[in-house]
Amino acid sequence: MALVGGFNFTIRLIETAKPASAIVGSFNPPIAGGFNECGGLEASMAVDEWREGGRNDAVLRFPGRITHPNLRLRRGLAVSEELWKWHEQFILGKGKRRDGVIELLDDGGETVRTWRFRRGLPVRWAGPALNATASAVAVEEIEIAHEGLFVQAGGAIGDALNTVASIFGGS
Protein backbone atom coordinates (compact mmCIF):
# COMPACT_ATOMS: atom_id res chain seq x y z
CA MET A 1 0.00 0.00 0.00
CA ALA A 2 1.48 3.33 -1.11
CA LEU A 3 1.16 6.43 1.03
CA VAL A 4 -0.45 9.51 -0.47
CA GLY A 5 0.94 13.05 -0.25
CA GLY A 6 -1.19 15.76 1.32
CA PHE A 7 -0.43 18.37 -1.35
CA ASN A 8 -2.81 17.42 -4.18
CA PHE A 9 -6.43 18.25 -3.30
CA THR A 10 -9.51 20.09 -4.50
CA ILE A 11 -12.27 21.88 -2.62
CA ARG A 12 -15.77 22.68 -3.91
CA LEU A 13 -18.32 24.87 -2.15
CA ILE A 14 -21.99 24.25 -3.02
CA GLU A 15 -25.00 26.29 -1.90
CA THR A 16 -26.77 24.19 0.74
CA ALA A 17 -30.33 25.24 -0.06
CA LYS A 18 -30.21 24.27 -3.75
CA PRO A 19 -30.37 20.46 -4.12
CA ALA A 20 -30.02 20.60 -7.92
CA SER A 21 -26.84 22.69 -7.73
CA ALA A 22 -25.44 20.26 -5.15
CA ILE A 23 -25.89 17.32 -7.53
CA VAL A 24 -24.48 19.23 -10.51
CA GLY A 25 -21.72 20.63 -8.27
CA SER A 26 -20.53 17.09 -7.55
CA PHE A 27 -19.29 16.87 -11.14
CA ASN A 28 -17.98 20.43 -11.59
CA PRO A 29 -14.31 21.38 -11.25
CA PRO A 30 -13.21 23.24 -8.10
CA ILE A 31 -13.78 26.98 -7.81
CA ALA A 32 -11.32 29.26 -9.61
CA GLY A 33 -7.95 29.72 -7.93
CA GLY A 34 -8.13 26.62 -5.74
CA PHE A 35 -6.74 26.47 -2.22
CA ASN A 36 -3.18 25.77 -1.21
CA GLU A 37 -3.94 24.87 2.40
CA CYS A 38 -6.80 23.18 4.26
CA GLY A 39 -6.81 22.68 8.02
CA GLY A 40 -9.42 21.47 10.48
CA LEU A 41 -10.25 18.03 9.07
CA GLU A 42 -10.82 16.73 12.60
CA ALA A 43 -13.47 15.22 14.82
CA SER A 44 -13.38 14.81 18.60
CA MET A 45 -15.73 12.87 20.81
CA ALA A 46 -16.45 14.01 24.34
CA VAL A 47 -16.60 11.34 27.03
CA ASP A 48 -19.48 11.46 29.50
CA GLU A 49 -18.66 10.03 32.92
CA TRP A 50 -21.09 8.38 35.31
CA ARG A 51 -20.14 7.82 38.91
CA GLU A 52 -22.30 4.88 39.86
CA GLY A 53 -23.44 4.87 43.47
CA GLY A 54 -21.71 2.21 45.58
CA ARG A 55 -19.03 1.60 42.96
CA ASN A 56 -15.86 3.29 44.13
CA ASP A 57 -13.31 1.37 42.01
CA ALA A 58 -14.21 2.83 38.59
CA VAL A 59 -16.07 5.54 36.71
CA LEU A 60 -18.27 4.44 33.82
CA ARG A 61 -17.56 6.22 30.53
CA PHE A 62 -19.91 6.69 27.60
CA PRO A 63 -19.53 8.30 24.18
CA GLY A 64 -20.67 11.92 24.17
CA ARG A 65 -21.15 14.69 21.64
CA ILE A 66 -18.95 14.90 18.54
CA THR A 67 -17.37 18.29 17.81
CA HIS A 68 -15.50 19.59 14.78
CA PRO A 69 -13.17 22.59 14.68
CA ASN A 70 -13.66 25.23 12.01
CA LEU A 71 -12.14 24.49 8.62
CA ARG A 72 -9.37 26.90 7.64
CA LEU A 73 -8.86 27.38 3.91
CA ARG A 74 -6.00 29.47 2.50
CA ARG A 75 -5.16 30.44 -1.05
CA GLY A 76 -3.24 32.99 -3.02
CA LEU A 77 -5.39 36.07 -3.48
CA ALA A 78 -7.13 35.61 -6.82
CA VAL A 79 -8.83 38.18 -8.99
CA SER A 80 -12.15 36.62 -7.94
CA GLU A 81 -13.81 38.13 -4.86
CA GLU A 82 -16.10 35.13 -4.27
CA LEU A 83 -14.82 34.26 -0.78
CA TRP A 84 -15.10 37.84 0.45
CA LYS A 85 -18.55 38.20 -1.12
CA TRP A 86 -19.77 34.98 0.56
CA HIS A 87 -18.60 36.32 3.95
CA GLU A 88 -19.95 39.81 3.23
CA GLN A 89 -23.43 38.44 2.45
CA PHE A 90 -23.63 37.22 6.07
CA ILE A 91 -22.49 40.62 7.31
CA LEU A 92 -25.37 42.12 5.33
CA GLY A 93 -27.84 39.53 6.67
CA LYS A 94 -28.35 37.84 3.28
CA GLY A 95 -25.87 34.96 3.50
CA LYS A 96 -26.51 31.41 2.34
CA ARG A 97 -24.77 28.42 3.84
CA ARG A 98 -22.66 26.14 1.66
CA ASP A 99 -21.84 22.46 1.81
CA GLY A 100 -18.36 21.46 0.79
CA VAL A 101 -16.47 18.58 -0.75
CA ILE A 102 -12.73 18.12 -0.13
CA GLU A 103 -10.97 15.52 -2.28
CA LEU A 104 -7.46 14.21 -1.73
CA LEU A 105 -5.91 13.12 -5.04
CA ASP A 106 -3.05 10.76 -5.86
CA ASP A 107 -0.21 11.58 -8.26
CA GLY A 108 -2.39 10.51 -11.22
CA GLY A 109 -5.22 12.87 -10.22
CA GLU A 110 -7.51 10.07 -9.00
CA THR A 111 -9.55 10.62 -5.83
CA VAL A 112 -8.12 8.74 -2.84
CA ARG A 113 -10.34 10.11 -0.06
CA THR A 114 -13.28 12.51 0.01
CA TRP A 115 -14.58 14.49 2.97
CA ARG A 116 -17.88 16.30 2.95
CA PHE A 117 -19.00 19.02 5.34
CA ARG A 118 -22.55 20.20 5.85
CA ARG A 119 -24.07 23.68 6.24
CA GLY A 120 -20.86 25.71 6.19
CA LEU A 121 -20.91 29.22 7.63
CA PRO A 122 -18.03 31.65 6.86
CA VAL A 123 -17.18 32.90 10.36
CA ARG A 124 -13.90 34.63 9.50
CA TRP A 125 -12.24 36.05 6.41
CA ALA A 126 -8.67 37.39 6.50
CA GLY A 127 -6.99 39.32 3.74
CA PRO A 128 -3.28 39.40 2.93
CA ALA A 129 -0.57 40.94 5.07
CA LEU A 130 0.75 43.79 2.94
CA ASN A 131 4.45 44.66 3.06
CA ALA A 132 6.17 46.81 0.41
CA THR A 133 9.59 45.32 1.25
CA ALA A 134 8.60 41.66 0.77
CA SER A 135 7.87 39.71 -2.39
CA ALA A 136 5.54 37.10 -0.86
CA VAL A 137 2.29 36.10 -2.55
CA ALA A 138 -0.81 37.81 -1.19
CA VAL A 139 -2.87 35.18 0.66
CA GLU A 140 -6.51 35.21 1.76
CA GLU A 141 -7.99 32.88 4.35
CA ILE A 142 -11.53 31.87 5.19
CA GLU A 143 -12.66 29.99 8.28
CA ILE A 144 -15.81 27.89 7.99
CA ALA A 145 -17.89 26.60 10.91
CA HIS A 146 -19.98 23.60 9.88
CA GLU A 147 -22.42 21.01 11.19
CA GLY A 148 -20.57 17.80 10.46
CA LEU A 149 -17.67 16.24 8.59
CA PHE A 150 -18.15 12.90 6.83
CA VAL A 151 -16.00 10.56 4.77
CA GLN A 152 -17.74 9.92 1.48
CA ALA A 153 -17.83 6.87 -0.80
CA GLY A 154 -15.53 7.22 -3.82
CA GLY A 155 -16.19 7.99 -7.45
CA ALA A 156 -18.73 10.15 -9.26
CA ILE A 157 -21.65 7.84 -8.45
CA GLY A 158 -20.65 7.87 -4.77
CA ASP A 159 -20.48 11.69 -4.93
CA ALA A 160 -24.01 11.91 -6.32
CA LEU A 161 -25.46 9.37 -3.88
CA ASN A 162 -23.84 10.99 -0.85
CA THR A 163 -24.89 14.47 -1.98
CA VAL A 164 -28.50 13.33 -2.40
CA ALA A 165 -28.34 11.64 1.04
CA SER A 166 -27.06 14.85 2.65
CA ILE A 167 -29.90 16.84 1.13
CA PHE A 168 -32.47 14.57 2.74
CA GLY A 169 -30.72 14.40 6.12
CA GLY A 170 -28.63 11.26 5.76
CA SER A 171 -24.92 11.04 6.43
The tens digit of pLDDT for each residue in 27-55 reads 444 444 578 889 999 999 999 999 998 88
Q: CA angle 16-164-20, nearest 5°?
A: 55
Determine phi and psi for 135, rounding to 5 degrees: -115, 25
Torsion sign across C-alpha atoms 111, 154, 10, 149? negative
Question: Are the C-beta atoms of residues 121 and 146 closer than 8 Å to each other?
Answer: yes
Question: Are the C-beta atoms of residues 115 and 150 closer than 8 Å to each other?
Answer: yes
Beta strand 111-126 with 98-105: parallel, antiparallel or unpaired? antiparallel
Nearest to 30 by CA among 16, 14, 11: 11
pLDDT at 119: 93
pLDDT at 131: 86
**CA 151 to chain CA mean position, Å:** 11
pLDDT at 63: 97
pLDDT at 32: 45
HSE of 47, CA atoms in CB hemisphere, 13 A: 5
pTM, to two decimals: 0.76
Residues in the chain with pLDDT < 70? Answer: 1, 18-33, 79, 153-171
